[in-house]
Amino acid sequence: MAIVETLTSNATAIATALVGGALLLLWRLSNVQLDAREPPVLKPTIPIIGHVLDMVTLSHAFFTKTYKQAEGKEAYTLPMMGGKVYFVASPELVNAMIKSRSLSFDPVLRDTIAKLFTISKAGVRKYVDPSTGLEARWTKNFYGCLNGVELKEINKAVLTDLFRQLDELPDEVNVEDSWLWLRDKLSFASTTAMLGRDNPFCAHPSLVDDYWYVDSKLVHFALGPAPWMTAPSAWMARNRIHRALIKYTKEKKHEADDVSALWRGSYDLLHEFGFSESDIAAFLQATLQAALFNTIPTFNWYFVHIWSDPSLVFRLREEVSGVVAESPERRGDGKREMTMNVAKLEERCPLLVAAFHENLRTVAVGAFNRVVMEDTIISNGKGGQEYLLKKGTTLMASQSVLHVSKEHWGSQAGNFDPTRFIKGAGVLGELESPIKPGTYVPFGGGKHLCPGRHFASMEIWGMMIALLLSFDITDAEGRTLTVPERTMPTMTSGIGRPVAGADLRLKLSRRKDWNNITWKVVMA
């Protein structure tokens, strides 16, 4: 009897301890302990897991949902399974976030590169080891080679390849899927500009399909524990691209004259540090990822936004005619040569540039991530509200909150209206341009301001000018295009795609007086 009683009371004690422990754990998980100066907590609707669940299921719409729940708060703390993430919503705080040196994007970038691409563990260690100085030189090479003379060279190369592709088109073109058609043209031109004409994507166009397939599944690589199981086809496609880039590297194709200074500089650096050909190819894959994944969807929406508005097409044609001239001499093949002078396009084509920005404002919904490297105070202005951010925590902001907020963009915030970006156009009424800092951040800002923005812009503007002048473009029935709905991009991307089932057929007809021409880019 005594033994039974002892056992029973021990079992009761153990059960009580377990239940107590579990309750304590639940309490700890659902209640983050904050300093009073940290941004206030925004509790999830489902305790503990609610925010994580929403983030996974809603992707970028998670941020607009929490912003609504936060009822105008400019900063809040999101408890996540016992941890926490800060979120800032106001342009002032986003500006402060982007500019702060103690809020770093570097750890996020390193982690992303290591997860998405097949760089060896030793390679990653070497890259991030501050004593080697490699990471800083890698970044410097990126910014240096997308500027000045090198920028001119890569811009010329990308437009030359795009123009070659346009020149080869017949006078009438029927396109089955505008997204795929534009995607492929720009993918070939971008890879050619970066890696030279003798690059694996042009030699094996199925690698372009592979690239975009992998891009659509990258979230499995970034967040999932086992992408080879959850996204096996993407896993294999990524490896096919990697193998093709190893071959490109082994065959020393990067030494060709038409390879960009950007990739030659990157290669030399990795080679100097003794990286294997496999690691070099994986870094090249990461570089291509950065160059393509935003630029090409941006062009797609720019294209449909413009061609769905005939009066805009009319005004743009007038404007861009000013940067185009016919060469007096006929070429040897009998074609007329049209030169496009792309110098100072921002000054000479304000509407083209305004439409580009308005397009990015309406389609870019990406998130910014920073790691708090040391306890940091950010403020919403001189003498304004201050917030304490604790070391080791992640801080996020989202274009989805800033870019279409009625508060910053007026009651018609959801509409595509390029005149918003033309100073003095007055369409915003009380919210007259120029744009308030921090409300429009398609290329980020501060230390991590996108180094590829000039390259991407020129590729997009040049291609658009040539299309505007060379072709009339309608849907398959000859009607004005309509803008298809966009998918919500995953967390590894910031711009959606046309929804499945949208009619993306196009008809292109060469305009009178614009047949038998060949385009040539001029940079001065």
> Binding site for heme: residue ranges?
450
Contacting residue, 107, 350, 410, 444, with ligand HEM by CB under 6 A: 444
Does position 398 interact with ligand HEM (CB under 6 A)? The reply is no
Residues between 249 and 308 that touch ligand HEM (CB under 6 A): 290-291, 294-295, 298
Beta bridge partners of 474: 507
CB nearer to ligand HEM: give 105 or 514.
105
Does position 102 interact with ligand HEM (CB under 6 A)? The reply is no
| Spatial separation of the C-alpha atoms in residues 95 and 412, rounded to whole Å | 24
**HEC profile of 217-274:** HHHHHHHCCCHHHHCHHHHHHHHHHHHHHHHHHHCCHHHCCCCCHHHHHHHHHHHHCC
With 0-12 / 13-18 / 19 or more C-beta atoms within 10 angstroms meaning exposed / middle / buried, residue 388 is middle
Does position 450 interact with ligand HEM (CB under 6 A)? The reply is yes
| Spatial separation of the C-alpha atoms in residues 395 and 97, rounded to whole Å | 8
Joined tokens for residue 208: 């372009």
Does position 455 interact with ligand HEM (CB under 6 A)? The reply is yes
With 0-12 / 13-18 / 19 or more C-beta atoms within 10 angstroms meaning exposed / middle / buried, residue 89 is buried
336: left (phi over 0), alpha (psi -120 to 50) or beta: beta
Minimum CB distance to ligand HEM, residue 230 (Å):
25
Q: Using CB under 6 A, count the residues that bind ligand HEM.
A: 22
Residue whose CB is nearest to ligand HEM in the complex, by number: 452
Minimum CB distance to ligand HEM, residue 148 (Å):
15
CB nearer to ligand HEM: give 79 or 403.
403
Minimum CB distance to ligand HEM, residue 455 (Å):
5
Block residue for tokens 């346009």: 166
Contacting residue, 221, 368, 409, 416, with ligand HEM by CB under 6 A: 368
Contact mark string toward ligand HEM, 106..135, x via CB under 6 A:
---x--------------------------
Q: From residue 286, how far is each of 22, 119, 241, 266 by CA, in Å?
A: 43, 10, 11, 12
Beta bridge partners of 41: 77
CB nearer to ligand HEM: give 378 or 517.
378
Q: Compute φ and ψ for 367, nearest 5 degrees.
A: -105, 150
Binding-site members are 450
Does position 186 interact with ligand HEM (CB under 6 A)? The reply is no
Q: Which SS3 state, helix, strand or coil, does residue 135 take?
A: helix
Using alpha carbons, select from 478, 474, 471 the residue that is nearest to residue 514.
471
Q: From residue 300, how far is each of 353, 422, 423 by CA, in Å?
A: 15, 22, 26
| Spatial separation of the C-alpha atoms in residues 42 and 78, rounded to whole Å | 6
Contacting residue, 62, 86, 127, 142, with ligand HEM by CB under 6 A: 142
Does position 193 interact with ligand HEM (CB under 6 A)? The reply is no
Minimum CB distance to ligand HEM, residue 113 (Å):
10
Q: Which stretch binds ligand HEM (CB under 6 A): 116-124, 240-248, 374-382, 453-461?
A: 453-461
Minimum CB distance to ligand HEM, residue 463 (Å):
12
Does position 448 interact with ligand HEM (CB under 6 A)? The reply is yes
Minimum CB distance to ligand HEM, residue 108 (Å):
7
Minimum CB distance to ligand HEM, residue 196 (Å):
15
Residue 481 neighbours by CB distance under 10 Å: 21
Q: Which residues bind ligand HEM (CB under 6 A)?
A: 105, 109, 139, 142, 290-291, 294-295, 298, 364, 366, 368, 442-444, 448, 450-453, 455-456
